[in-house]
Chains A and B, each alone.
Chain A
Amino acid sequence: AQSVAQPEDQVNVAEGNPLTVKCTYSVSGNPYLFWYVQYPNRGLQFLLKYITGDNLVKGSYGFEAEFNKSQTSFHLKKPSALVSDSALYFCAVRFRPGYSSASKIIFGSGTRLSIRP
């Protein structure tokens, strides 16, 4: 079964420090991996995706993620955190069942990122 795991419920980082939000996945076949961010009382915003190609993908707001096939991980990173990065982050895997015309997203449980000034 396709799944993603986010082992940390909360990550706390000081502003200006690098941040990492962890994600591991379990998929059959090629993984299509995504990161979304949710600000309070807002919908989900797309940050970045890995489909194929370079293992390091860059996304919105200075975020990047590294796809590691051997470790089945797709950790989200940012070199220098901002207070405004504080939000709920979801790792997700997307796949299309063979019988379906459309695909669906399986989300991780989410990690709350808190950046202190």
Chain B
Amino acid sequence: EPEVTQTPSHQVTQMGQEVILRCVPISNHLYFYWYRQILGQKVEFLVSFYNNEISEKSEIFDDQFSVERPDGSNFTLKIRSTKLEDSAMYFCASTPPGHSTNNEQFFGPGTRLTVL
């Protein structure tokens, strides 16, 4: 069964450094998402991406964040200058073609980002 994959599983970085979190969505999916989950808290929407552009972003997704689909298979989340409060589990998700609201999102296993 196809699944969303994410690398690395755990990323440790120093405050102020740039990180890139990578995701490979399911191959025929067209809608892509990033969510984050701070330890012990709820899962929060960051950004949705469709047709090579951002569809929507939350207030969390400020100028320090960017997303890219560089090669038709990968979907990346970049944090330009990490802060301590960026420490969280980051989940990538994708949805197949069709009505984007009806279809469930398929989530990757997550990348745990630790900012020191």
Contacts and interface: CB of A to CB of B under 8 A. Distances in A.
Interface residues of B, number: 28
Contacts of A46: 104-107
Given A43-B109, A104-B48, A110 B42 contact: yes
Contact of B102 (A32, A45, A106, A109): A32
A106 B31 CA distance: 16
Contacts of B95: 102-103
Interface string B64-95: 00000000000000000000000000010101
Give the interface size class of chain A.
20 to 34
Given A43-B109, A102-B100, A107 B50 contact: no
Given A101-B50, A102-B33, A104-B56, A44 B43 contact: yes
Interface stretch (A14-22, A78-86, A92-100): A92-100
Given A102-B55, A107-B42, A108-B42, A96 B101 contact: yes
A96 B55 CA distance: 10
Contacts of A44: 43, 91, 93, 107
B107 A43 contact: yes
B51 interface: yes
A25 interface: no
Contacts of B101: 32, 94-96, 103
Contacts of A32: 101-102
Given A32-B102, A96-B100, A102 B45 contact: no
Contacts of B44: 107
A49 B108 contact: no
6 contacts: A46-B107, A94-B105, A96-B100, A101-B31, A102-B56, A105-B35
Interface of B: 4, 31, 33, 35, 41-45, 48-51, 55-56, 91, 93, 95, 100-102, 104-110
Given A34-B104, A105-B43, A107-B43, 5 more contacts: A42-B110, A44-B107, A96-B100, A97-B56, A102-B55
